Amino acid sequence: SRVVSVREFRIDDLEAAGRFCEAARAGDPSVEPFSQRLGVIATGSRAALELWRVAEDEQGVLHGIAFAALRDSADRPVFEFYCAVDPSLRRQDLGRALSEPALTSGAVLRARVRDDGKAGSAFLRSLGFVETGAQLMLHWNGQKRIEAVPMPALRIRHGSAKDQALVERLSSEAWKGAPDTFASRADEIAQLFGEEGRVVLIAESEGRAMGYLSGVQLGRTLGIEELAVLPEFRRMGIGRALVAQALSREQGAVLSVGESNKPARALYKSLGFTQTARRLIFEKRA
């Protein structure tokens, strides 16, 4: 039988960790597809590497990983938390051992799992997590082209690095009073202008910014990360115009939206997006 031990994560584990994550998802589709972004997370300013752990056998093969990334909150630190274990080694407390540093950190932990991932939900509950909400995963297949409402005074332009402060303000003001899962952190916004394949569109009229859209290019599919419109400019077709512009040359798009965010869900439904999955949100408080 394999002897597997838990140790601290090292940056040179990234390649092996990515392979493990892909293999874990191939064996269990409910595992979150974070392998593609693992390198960005691990080397970014919000990575809490002291909480990262991997499970390794005698041959150096990885069989599990747990990691956390800081998510700002107004009154307390919140960490996005992920854990994946080789299915053949589950029910052996390996997941708990991997998670121990995060569980004892004193921070609020937030995790997501597909609603059909019964094992993942049971695991989180066993660690003391409580279900707090849900996200819907939506897909646009490109067959229904999106037409924007004509707005002669509206200008949509591509953002650049000089717009970083502007985008930070738009995100903050658009989501003021909303759960902190919505607004983007300053370092995340900085990445929008520092990574290849990023898309940033800004809607403005008469020199005043009204909203923005950010996304990441996934081949001919656009992953929409944030669509934010200032409260005083909502229900005017600005969100629709931003999405129409962003998808004008795309063959598909994917995004997630809070299940409780009914206005956004109605918008995306009207644009031809359909639901492909539902993810439960869990939290564990200190």
Complete DSSP assignment for 251-271: SEEEEEEETT-HHHHHHHHHT
C-alpha triplet 114, 117, 122: angle, nearest 5°: 115
Tell me: do 153 and 117 sit in the same domain: no
Determine the pLDDT at residue 92. 82
41, pLDDT greater than 70: yes
Q: What is the CATH number of the domain that holds 265?
A: 3.40.630.30
What is the average per-residue pLDDT within 125-143? 93
CA Rg, the chain, in Å?
Answer: 20
Q: Which of 22-36, 47-61, 242-256 has the lowest mean pLDDT?
A: 22-36
> What pLDDT is recorded for position 147?
83
Helices 238-246, 262-270: axis angle to 10 degrees equals 50
DSSP-assigned beta bridge partners for residue 135: 258, 279
**Whether residue 197 is found in the same domain as residue 109:** no
Say yes or no: 16 and 88 in one domain.
yes
Q: Where residue 34 falls among pLDDT bands split at 50, 70, 90?
A: confident
Both 153 and 258 in a single domain?
yes
d(Cα 138, Cα 218) in Å, to the nearest integer?
A: 15
Does residue 180 carry a pLDDT above 50? no
Backbone angles phi, psi at 89, to 5 degrees: -115, 10
Q: Are 27 and 88 in contact (CB under 8 A)?
A: no
Please determine, for residue 73, whether its predicted confidence score (pLDDT) is greater than 60.
no
In this predicted model, what pLDDT tens digit does every residue of 202-232 receive, in sequence order?
999 998 999 999 998 888 889 998 999 999 9
**What global pTM score does this model have?**
0.80
Residues 112 and 11 in one domain: yes
Calpha distance 65→24 (Å, rounded): 10
Q: CA 23 → CA 29, 33, 91, 95, 153, distances in Å?
A: 10, 10, 19, 17, 50
Asked if pLDDT for residue 187 goes beyond 70, the answer is no
Instruction: Answer whether residue 44 shows pLDDT above 90.
Output: no
For position 70, what pLDDT does the model report? Answer: 84
For residue 133, being part of any structural domain is answered with no
- The pLDDT of 86-110, averaged and rounded, is 90
Question: If you search the block for the tokens 């107004």, which residue do you land on?
Answer: 74
Q: Is residue 283 part of a domain?
A: no
Q: How many domains does the chain have?
A: 2
The pLDDT-based confidence of 268 (bands split at 50, 70, 90) is very high
Shared-domain flag, residues 153 and 234: yes
If one compares 150 and 259, the residue with the highest pLDDT of the two is: 259
Residue 27 domain flag: yes
- Residue 282 within any structural domain of the chain: no
SS3 state of residue 214? strand
Q: Specify the pLDDT at position 146.
A: 86
Query: Are the C-beta atoms of residues 157 and 201 closer than 8 Å to each other?
Result: yes
Residue 248 lies in a domain: yes
Give the torsion through C-alpha atoms of 131, 186, 277, 102, to 10 deg.
-40
Same domain, 21 and 76: yes
Domain that residue 236 falls in:
139-277
* Together in a domain, 106 and 62: yes
> Are 270 and 156 contained in the same domain?
yes
Q: Give 190's pLDDT tier (boundaries 50, 70, 90).
A: low
